[in-house]
A and B are shown apart, each in its own frame.
Chain A
Amino acid sequence: MRLEFTEEEQSFREEVRSFLRAQLSPEISGKVLNGYELGREDHVLWQRRLHERGWGGMGWPKEFGGPGWNSVQQYIFEEESALAGGPRLIPFGTKMVAPVIMAFGSPAQQQRYLPKISSGEDWWCQGYSEPGAGSDLASLKTRATRDGDSYIVNGQKTWNTLGQYADWIFCLTRTDASAKQQSGITFLLIDMKSPGITVRPITLLDGGHEVNEIWFENVRVPVENRIGEENHGWTYAKFLLGHERTNIAGIGIAKRELARLKRIAASERQRGRPLIDDPVFAAQIAQVEVDLWALEITNLRVLSAERRSAAAGPEASILKIKGTEIHQSISELLMRAVGPYALPFRREAMEAGWQFDPSREPPGPRYASTLAASYFNQRKLSIFGGTNEIQKNIISKMIVGL
C-alpha cells in the first residue's frame, strides 16, 4: 500500500503542467480563479487548445481520436487543470454523449459526431429531465412518433444547462407508451436548429442564465439520428449517467477554492487581526480541509480499483455526496469570510471586466462581490446529477444491499 503516484504518473503530471503553462491564457485562468463568469468563446477556445494537443477527446480511447488515458491520468489532468484555473470541461459532449456514441452508435454516427466534439466545433447539451421527471427520470413523457424515415418529437425538457449555446441536444424520448416505464424510451440526437425547438431561459436565484426549458413542437428528427435500437434508450441513458460520475468529486476545484478561502481569510480583518487567526473560523476551515483530505483518498482508492476493472460503480455516489457537501461548505465559508461585504449584490460584478467606480475607495474588496452569488449557485450541486437523497438511496440499495 502506498499513497504516491507511480513515476510514470508523476511524469504525466509534469507534462500536463507544462501544457497548462503554455496554453492556458491568463485571461481565462483569471476568470476561473476569481470566480467570474466564462462565456461560450472561453469554453470553445479552451476545447480547441486541448484538441490541438490531442486531448480534445478526454477519456476517449485512441481508436476514436482520444488520448487513450486511463482514469488516473484523467484525474491528474482535471486536478492540475483546476488548480491552474482551467475552465471546467463542459461534459455534455466529451463525457456524456461521446461515450454513448462510441459504445452504441453506428460507425457512420461515430464519424459524423465525434471529431466535432473533440474539436469544439459542436456544442452539445442534454435533454434528460422534464418538469414531471426529475429524480424519477424514467417517467419522462416527451414523445417521439415514427413517421416514415423520421421521428416527430413533442414535449418539454427542463434544467437544460447552457442549451442557449448548443448545436446539438441528446434526448430521451418515449416511443412506446404502453411498455413499462424503462422499456419504451429511445435515445435521439437532435439538431438544435431544427424547426419547432424553442429555448426558454430560466433565471436562477443568483440572477444567472445557466439553464433552460426546451420545447419541442413537431420536431422532425431523421431515424439515422437514433442511437442503437428503438425502445432501448434506457440502457444507453444509464450508461451515460455512469460516465457522468467520473471525477464527480471535483477534488482539484475544491483544493483551489480552499486555498482561495485561506487567502481571503488571511486578508480579512476582525478587530484589527486577520480573520484566519479567529480560532472558530480557523476550525471551520480545518474541518473542510480534513473532510477534503478524506475524500481525496477515497477518490484515489476508487481510481486504483478502476485501474483493474471498468467504469465507476455505485461508490461514485459517495464521491458525489461528499464532494458536493465540501464544495458547498467552502462556498459558504467564502461568503461568510467577507462579512457584511457579502451583502452587496450586483449581477455585473460576475463579469471579469467590471470594476468599482475608480474615483472612490471601493465599498469592500473586489473579491467579495461574487461570493454570495456563488454560494447561492452552488446549492444546485446537491440537486443536479441525481439529488443527494437519490445518491443515498443508491448507496443503501447497491452497496449495502438494503
Chain B
Amino acid sequence: MNFEFSDEQRQLHEVVERYLNEQYGFERYQSIKRSSAGWDPAVWRALADLGVLAITVPVAQGGLGFGPLETLSMMGDCGRSLLLEPVLSSAVIATAALRAFVGEAPTGKAAAGEAAAGEAAAGELLTAMAAGEKIAVLAHFESDARFESQWVTTRARRAGESYRLDGHKGVVMHAGAADTLLVSARTAGEAGDADGVSLFLVPRAAPGVVLDTYPTVDGQRAADVYLQAVEVPASSRLGPEGKSLAAVEAALDIGLAALCADAVGVMQALVDATVDYVRVRQQFGQPIGRFQALQHRIADMLIHLEAARSMSYLAALRCTAEDVGERRRALSAAKAVIGQSGRFVGQQAVQLHGGMGMTDELRVSHWFKRLTAAQLMFGDSDTHLQRVAALTRGEKSFGR
C-alpha cells in the first residue's frame, strides 16, 4: 500500500499546473468560453508540446505509453483551471478506445484484410492525436439511452465494400472540435444487446453527418450528432464486426476515472476559495469564518472532499482491471461518492459565498456548474449506487 505519486507523475502534474496557472487564467477561460468554437487551438498546440495529449498513446504510435495514474495526476489541474479543451474526450476517452485496436489490447488479434486496415487507421490517428494534429471523440450514447451503454440503436448496414450509418447520438462532448468521430453502431441485434455493436471511424465532415452544437452547463461544448445515410468504407470499421462494445465500455471506464479526478480538482479549488472567502468576508464586526455554524460546514466540505479524493484514486487504480465485475463495482462506487460529494461541496461553496457565489463574476459558480455537469455525465449517483447494489447481489448483466 502506497498512495504516493511517482516522481514522473508529480512532474507531469507540475508541468500542467504551471502551464495552466500561467496561461489559462479565469479571463482566458471566459474569453474561450464566449468564442464561437468554445476551445482554443493555440492551447491545444501548447498541451501537445507539453506531452499532455500523448500521455496514454502507446509508444509504438509516438506516445508516452502511460496509464490512468498519470492521467489522474494532471486531470485535477484541468478541473481547477476549468479547461474547456477536449482533453478528457480526445486525449483520454477516444485514445483509450483506439488503443484497444492497435495490438496491445485483448481485442487486437492478429488480423487480416479489413480488420488490419482498421488497425492501421487507428494507429495513424493515434499518432496524429499524440502530436495534437487531430482530435477524435467517441460518439456512443444515444438520446434515449440515458446512461445505458448497451442501448445502441444507430444502425450500420453493410453494402458491398462500405457501411451505411443511420442514427442519432446524444450530447457528444466536443463533437464540434473533432476531426474524427468514433461512432458505435449496431451491425446486429437490438437495443440493449451486448453483442452486435461495431465501432467506425467517421470523418466529422463526411456527407450526412449533421451536428447540432451547443454549450453545456459548464461552458464546454457538445453536440447531438445526426447520422443520415453516412457512407464509410468497410476499412473504417475497428476490430471484428459486432464485437466492439467491450472496447467502448473499457474506454468509458477509463474516462469515468479521469472525470472523477477532474471533479476532485474542482472540489479542492472550491474548498480553498471558500476558506479564503470566510477568512476575509466581514459581517457583524468579524470574519464570517469565526461563526461555528460555518466552521462546521467547511469541515463537512473537507470530509466530502477527502472521500472523493480517495475514490478518485480507487477509480484510477481499478479502471483497467481485468476482472470486469470488480472494475465496474469500483468505478460505480467512485462515481456515486464523487457525485454526492461534488453536490455538497458545490452547493455549500455557493451558499457560503452568499450572493457573490451566485454571480458569473467569480469562479465559484463556474466550478459549481462544472461539478454539476460531472454529476450528470456517465450516470448520476443514483444510477451508480444501483449498479453497486446489483453487482453486490451478483447481477452482472445489470447495466454496465
Contact = CB atoms under 8 A, between A and B. Distances in A.
Given A360-B210, A361-B226, A134 B347 contact: no
Interface in B276-318: 282-285, 288, 291, 293-294
Interface string B193-214: 0000000000000000010101
A271 B214 contact: no
Given A205-B365, A382-B351, A344 B214 contact: yes
A344 B171 contact: yes
Contact of A387 (B146, B170, B354): B354
B222 A383 contact: no
Contacts of A363: 143, 170-171, 212, 214, 224
A364 B171 CA distance: 9
Contacts of B376: 335-336, 339-340, 342-343
A172 interface: no
Contacts of B351: 379, 382-383, 387-388
Contacts of A380: 355, 358
B161 to A, nearest CB: 30
B253 to A, nearest CB: 17
Nearest to B142: A340
A336 B360 contact: no
Interface string A378-390: 0110111001110
Nearest to B343: A332
A341 B171 contact: yes
A207 B360 contact: yes
A132 B361 contact: no
A379 B347 contact: yes
Given A383-B351, A383-B358, A392-B293, A269 B171 contact: no
Contacts of A104: none
B24 interface: no
Interface residues of A, number: 51
A345 B144 contact: no
A398 interface: no
B369 A271 contact: no
Interface in B147-179: 147-148, 151, 168, 170-171
Interface stretch (B51-59, B86-94, B231-239, B379-387): B379-387
Interface in B354-381: 354-355, 357-361, 365-366, 368-369, 372-373, 375-377, 380
B385 A280 contact: yes
A66 to B, nearest CB: 32
B221 to A, nearest CB: 10
Contacts of B347: 379
Interface string B320-358: 000000000000000000000000000100110011011
Contact of B377 (A268, A269, A340, A364): A340
A372 interface: yes
A241 interface: no
Contact of A202 (B293, B359, B368): B359
Contacts of A384: 355
Nearest to A388: B351
B107 interface: no
A364 B143 contact: yes
A367 interface: no
Interface string A100-137: 00000000000000000000000000000100101110
Given A339-B380, A344-B171, A345-B216, A136 B283 contact: yes
A271 B379 CA distance: 13
Contacts of A135: 283-284, 288, 354
B372 A136 contact: no
B282 A132 contact: yes
Nearest to A283: B382
A364 B170 contact: yes
B192 interface: yes
Given A205-B369, A363-B214, A392-B293, 10 more contacts: A135-B283, A136-B284, A139-B284, A207-B360, A268-B146, A269-B144, A271-B148, A335-B376, A343-B376, A372-B217
Top 6 A-B pairs ranked by shortest CB distance? A363-B224, A205-B365, A136-B283, A203-B360, A345-B217, A343-B216
